[in-house]
Amino acid sequence: MTRHLIRLIPFLAAVPGVAVAQDEAERLVQIKAMFDPAAIVSGPDLVDCTLSGGTETTCFSITVKSSLAENEMGPWCPRNITDGPEVSGIWPHEGKVQDADGAFVKNLSTFYDDPNWQLFDPATGEVNVTEGKEACELAARPNVDPAYQNHCVECQTSYMEQEAVLTYVIPMQPVDLDRPERPGPFVGIGLAFNGIKYDAPAPVDRILGAYTLAPFDDCGGHVNPHAGYHYHAVTGCSPEIAVIEDHAPTIGIAMDGYPLFAQLDPDGTEPSDLDECRGHVTEGIGYHYHVADAGANQTIGCFKAEYGCSLDDPSQTCDATKRPPPP
């Protein structure tokens, strides 16, 4: 437990109002210690940054890749309507996780009350799954190629020309917003200690509108050809670090610098005093988020503080007031 307490110190030091005297270099060492070493490409280093609200401050910059092996991801799409949940992923629906298994695929037209759903061959039960890189790209883009309507979309990291490497620039000291901001598609929610992004909500309406599914694996992640493997749901697969007794473990850092914690405390309950962002203040931790149920398709409700950047190029300077066009 002592070890874990020590490992939380960067967060304590990052929370306004909690006085932990430490120099920044020491805090960088502690932030680094929270990550799986296999995930770190470089950093963390101190950099100048401009946060989403325009505040110019000091951030840490850490360049990471996923530490997962290929066989630690998936499965996503069932291959036949007889396939069970053990060879299929999950799908969020009205706040609850559904097994995206063969039975679910078979039942889609009833489930969504729309006869246009026909994701499988009625003669053989075979599920239409995107095969290969081109199909993945055409089906995973915002305007799904009509040829891939009624397909289960599945991308593999092996389709990517190079491994996804992203640089996260996150404030050392959170700078609270006057009004919390809902996460848009421009920036992830945060970063897990295995180097994987907790992403903004999946565009479920758009995916379903094209009569496609893009299941998450049982760990809440799937692959897109640009960002690689990323999480839309937290199901307990990403590394957890215990912090204080009788409290959920921490599972990552949000883009605004506040720590992310698992949904449930060890007694199996969710804290009852969470705000609209899914955060609260507790003694010993300060302000922090508890992620939502895996079926919610959103890990937190909003950012309490100005967020930093995730960058493709580590030499770029973070200016989070400049937003890329929507994907």
Would you tell me which residues interact with Zn ion (CB under 5 A)? 202, 282
Q: At its nearest, how many Å lie between Zn ion and the CB of residue 290?
A: 6
Decide: 299 and 158 in contact? Cβ < 8 Å: no
Nearer to Zn ion, 31 or 285 (CB): 285
Q: Which is nearer to Zn ion, 108 or 202 (CB)?
A: 202
Quote the least distance from Cβ 118 to Zn ion, whole Å. Answer: 24
Rounded to the nearest whole angstrom, what is the least distance from the CB of residue 262 to Zn ion in the complex? 9
| Residue 55 near residue 173, CB atoms below 8 Å | no
Give the Cα separation of 188 and 233 in Å (integer). 12
The distance of closest approach from Cβ of residue 9 to Zn ion in the complex, given in angstroms and rounded to an integer, is 17
Phi-psi region of 117 (alpha: psi -120 to 50; beta: other; left: phi over 0): beta
Among residues 55 and 282, whose Cβ is nearest to Zn ion? 282
State the minimum distance, in angstroms, from the CB of residue 227 to Zn ion. Answer: 8
Q: Which two tokens mark 247? A: 């409290």
Taking the least distance from each CB to Zn ion, the nearer of 149 and 282 is 282
Handedness of CA 143, 147, 153, 158 (dihedral sign): negative
Cα distances (angstroms) measured from residue 280 to each of 3, 170, 191, 195, 274 = 24, 20, 19, 25, 5
Q: How many residues does the chain have?
A: 327
Which residue lies nearer to Zn ion by CB, 89 or 171?
A: 89
